Structures are given as structure tokens and as C-alpha cells.
Amino acid sequence: MTSQEYSKLMNYALRLLSKRSYTKQGLTEKLEKRAHKTKIQNKGVIIEILERLTELKYINDLDFCERFFEERCRLRPRGKYLLSQELRKKGIPKETLEEFWGSERGRAFDENPLAQKLVVARLNRLDAELSTYEKREKLYRFLASRGFSVGTIRDVLDKTLNPY
């Protein structure tokens, strides 16, 4: 490995991280593409860069989970199942996800208020001529497609459609 290869890829990684956060897997893929493009054959350079960035706390999958979780709940609410799937797709290892859901923030996550907010917004857009059963069916499918658990869906729909 030459120091020139290391500095080229390290500068590239730092430029990427200055724009947004990446998972370790996501950054690895970006660095591998850049190494291939610039004809850097030594894979040890990428490993060394990732270790250094982890040591400097520029990449941390658990922090990535936290930020992703907060942003997703604020902008596009999803249930625990779908959030986990999205994070797995981004390259978060299963162990890190388990650690996140076991953390204080993960254990405090309550799907009900998010689902309730979505139901109220969606209910206003449903056809007023639909029966309660049809509304319930549509809302059930809607919440299920957003990754909410069956228990959460039932609780929210019972409170919203049968308030007494």
C-alpha cells in the first residue's frame, strides 16, 4: 500500500462523510467503487481507512440507527418492523439492530402515537360514504404496509373507529 493510495481514498471518504452519514457497509461499497475506478488493487487500504474512521468515530452504525430512526419517525413514520427492514437494507448488522432496539431509545419507542397520527390524517381523506367496516379494512392495510404490528393496528383502529 502506498501512502498516496491511502490519502486519495481517505480524502474521498472524508468528502463523502462531510455531506451525509454512512453505514460502514455503505461507505465500504463507495470506497470499493472508487478504488476500482482509480485502479487501486490493494483492499487493505479500504480496511485500514474504515478502521481509522471508526476509531475517529466518523462512522458508527449505532449512531446511524439513532439518527435514521429519529428522522424517519419525524418525516415518514413507520412501524418497528419496517424501520428494521430499512436499516438492514442500508447494511446495519443484525447485532447492531438488536443493540439499538435494546437501548433506552429503542425500548421507549411506542408505535401507537405514530399510527394514531397516520390514521387521523388518512381518515380525513377516505370517502365519507364508506362503511365503518370498509374504512377499518383500508386503514388496516395502510398501517400494515407501513410496518406497524398487528397489536398496534388493532389498538389504534379500535380507539379511532369505536371511541366508546
Per-residue model confidence as pLDDT tens for the chain (164 residues)? 467 888 889 999 999 999 999 999 999 999 999 988 888 877 888 899 999 999 999 999 999 998 998 888 888 888 989 999 999 999 999 999 999 998 887 888 888 889 999 998 898 888 778 888 888 999 999 999 999 999 999 999 998 887 65
pTM reported for the whole predicted model: 0.79
Nine-digit cell string for 105: 431509545
Nine-digit cell string for 17: 462523510
Cell 419525524 -> residue: 74
What does the alpha-carbon distance between residue 81 and residue 70 come to, in Å, rounded to a whole number? Answer: 15
What does the alpha-carbon distance between residue 164 and residue 158 come to, in Å, rounded to a whole number? Answer: 9
Q: What is each CA distance from 49 to 54, 60, 112, 123, in whole angstroms?
A: 9, 14, 42, 50
Domain boundaries along the sequence of the chain: 3-55, 61-107, 111-161
Nearest to 149 by CA among 140, 159, 158, 138: 140
